[in-house]
Amino acid sequence: MQLKHLNITVIGHVQGVGFRNATKHQARYLGIKGFVKNTSNGNVYIEAEGEALALAEFVKWCRKGPSFANVESLNVEEGSLSHFTSFDTRY
């Protein structure tokens, strides 16, 4: 199993709509480790580690998000592994 690390910035109306909680639920469902947090400019930032297929499914979900979100765009970059042990919300 080869792990990958993605840094994901979700842009749009993504704060105050349950995005972080839904992201945590989806990541745990897919077996992805990392974290999600709000940024000061209104975006959501995610670091995610997992298998390529699970990450592809996760990124696909992030493009839509939970039902009340309005995702305008997504910035996805590969990064170095951090070896996360869980998926958490950071503040």
pLDDT in tens, 23-73: 999 999 999 999 999 999 999 999 999 999 999 999 999 999 999 999 999
Q: Which domains does the chain have, with CATH numbers?
A: 3-89 (3.30.70.100)
- 38 given a catalytic annotation: yes
pTM above 0.95, yes or no: yes
Q: How far apart are CA 14 and CA 69, in angstroms?
A: 5
**Residues contacting 90, CB < 8 A, separation 6+:** 35, 36, 37
- 41 given a catalytic annotation: no
Is residue 7 over pLDDT 80?
yes
Active-site entry in 28, 38, 63, 70: 38
pLDDT in tens, 71-87: 999 999 999 999 999 99
